[in-house]
Structure 1
């Protein structure tokens, strides 16, 4: 079972692993969306993303960093 947009914690952990040198508070949402979609474990409709979802992912990523 792949990652869905609602899996913000798991997505944040994947992003931290793939982009360890990125400061998540500086990333643009357009880039964040693209990076999530490119994750090998991501398996959801790319069109179901919105600002609220990206904010949740970014917040979790910041917490984990």
Structure 2
């Protein structure tokens, strides 16, 4: 997975953190959790606020 795989990342986060409300996740935690996902192969430095926001929004939708 790479930073651009927003939907796949959101699904993995929803499955890996079922008790977390993604609406209240700090971007620092979100960044760390994405980098810790099995199969995540992208450079941690390539993320930015826009990417993290897109992941968070997709995770919120996935959690519904």
Give the TM-score normalised by structure 2.
0.97
CA distance in 2, matches of 1:41, 1:60: 19
* 1:24-43 correspondence runs (5 A): 24-43=22-41
Other-structure match for 2:49: 51
Other-structure match for 2:17: 19
Deviation at 1:41, TM superposition (A): 1.2
Any gaps of 5 or more consecutive residues in structure 1?
A: none
- Give the count of matched residue pairs: 63
Give the TM-score normalised by structure 1.
0.95
CA distance in 2, matches of 1:40, 1:31: 16
> Residue by residue, what CA displacement relative to the aligned partner does 1:6-63 show, whole Å, maximum 9, x if unpaired?
0000000000010000000000000000000000110100000100000000000000
Other-structure match for 1:63: 61
